Structure 1
Amino acid sequence: MDRFWNWNQASDHRELTINGIIAKDSWINDDIAPQIFQAELNDGHGPIDLWINSPGGDCTAAGQIYTMLMEYPDDINVKISGIAASAASVIAMAGTTVSMAPPALMMIHNPLTIVGGQEQDLNKAAQMLAETKEAIINAYVLKTNLPREKISTMMDKQTWMNVNKAIQLGFADKMLGEDPNVTNCYSYSEPENQMVMLNKLQPTTKSTIPVKSLQKRLSLLSH
């Protein structure tokens, strides 16, 4: 069994680490590894700190782990220490909160496979990839609230995100070690900073001032 996860429950809180390639041997034909992961997840209670440093791997395994974590009754605090790419980024979306270290990266892209055979075999593989992509988008949308079309385009382009970009787009919530009471406006360009301010104003403001008017006022304030 390929074990890419590890538990540390010696302290007052539960800690789970996912490190390296996710399931070098696919979970599709593996009945043991998913059961062990589920049993270990349920063998305790309370919030879990989930540390991720993975380039990705098997979509099936990532999807199952995502679902198991989403069903866990307590908080899952995802902490990306190095990289959460490809399938690992899907698992990260199960976090109640998602934090990234200052130099950490997240990457999303289209699923891929290797297939051979006749035309109908290639067509089936293409259909499978298309449906797999839609399934992955479901997890990204649930976390970010971004339009499906935008996420699809980001996957087409293979999008890399540093912590500031990930927070801006909703894939992450905060930077590890950052004071939550301090807003570092210098982490964004001027247009991005204005959008962050607008996003904070709009949900709580009962004013009927149009968005374009708010943008104009923010532009004047920034000069």
Structure 2
Amino acid sequence: MKKFWKWKNRTVTDQENQTKTVERTLFLNGTIAEESWFDDDITPALFKEELMAGSGNITVWINSPGGDCVAAAQIYNMLMDYPHDVTVKIDGIAASAASVIAMAGTKVLISPVGMMMVHNPATVAWGDSAEMQKAIEMLSSVKDSIINAYEIKTGLSRARLSHLMDAETWMDAHKAVELGFADGILGRTELPEDMDPPAVTMLYSKAAVVNSLMDKIAAKCKTKPKTELEGRSVDSLYERLDLLRF
């Protein structure tokens, strides 16, 4: 199993109290588990062992397109059970399974140029109709469990979260904050206090784009109503026919 996480510890000295503390930082980069954690007892145990090897608040940096939902669920649960604050910082992308892990943050911050994406879980299945039905039911259950994490963090209704997942929704930093997937934007404290938030936030829906494209194609292919073809005299039609002869 190729590790997709890395810990980095840094000792910080409080000059006023002359005390030293260890800042613990976890980096989650790339695909969340290139191999499934299903039936894997070793890798999740190793992650938990490293997580619990220290104490105090931790910072989790995420830049991942997603991956195995089983691994994401276990990491989410471990971070939720961690007895100290967990600050999640998204410096690139937190998509798919990675967005689930981000929901475990006591506080979630996203880069001004960061992105988040939520969509429905997917799998590959083989077999007869009964096996296909089992796969459908399994995906439905997985989706419900993912919605649980989104609902706890955002406070949005399950119906709206389900629609966002159906549409494969991409959010920029401001939209992620607006919808509750993030609590703030990295570097915001460095901006002028009187700076107004953007008037427009970006939410990209794959389904909405496809539907819009189909509407435009339908409009281009639309035939003229019959009423527009009525009212021509027979003579004018013969004249039009003569122009086409050669």
* TM beyond 0.5: yes
Q: CA deviation at 1:126?
A: 0.2
Paired with 2:49 and 2:58, the residues of 1 have a C-alpha distance of 15
Tell me which of 45, 53, 71 is aligned to 1:43. Answer: 53
**Residue aligned with 2:61, SS:** strand
Q: 5 Å matches for 1:1-223?
A: 1-11=1-11, 12-179=22-189, 182=193, 184-189=195-200
Q: CA deviation at 1:186?
A: 3.6
**Residue aligned with 1:50, SS:** strand
**Residue aligned with 1:15, SS:** strand
Q: CA deviation at 1:179?
A: 1.4
Paired with 1:121 and 1:184, the residues of 2 have a C-alpha distance of 56
One-letter amino acid matched to 1:35:
A
Paired with 1:70 and 1:184, the residues of 2 have a C-alpha distance of 34
108 and 146 in structure 1: CA distance in 2 versus 1, 3 angstrom threshold: same
Listed as ranges, the gaps of 5+ residues in structure 2 are 12-21, 202-246
TM-score by length of 2: 0.75
Q: Retained in 2: the 8 A contact 1:164–1:188?
A: no
TM-score by length of 1: 0.82
What percentage of residue pairs aligned between the two structures are identical?
Answer: 52
Considering only aligned residues, what root-mean-square deviation do their CA atoms show, in Å? 1.5
Q: Retained in 2: the 8 A contact 1:55–1:84?
A: yes
One-letter amino acid matched to 2:198:
S
Please identify, of 13-22 and 171-180, the stretch whose mean Cα deviation from structure 2 is larger.
171-180
Kindly tell me the number of residue pairs found equivalent between the two proteins.
190
**Residue aligned with 1:13, SS:** strand
Deviating runs (4+, > 4 A) in structure 1? none
Could you give the per-residue CA deviations for residues 149-182 of structure 1, whole angstroms, max 9, x where no partner exists? Answer: 0000000000001100000000001110111883
One-letter amino acid matched to 1:84:
A
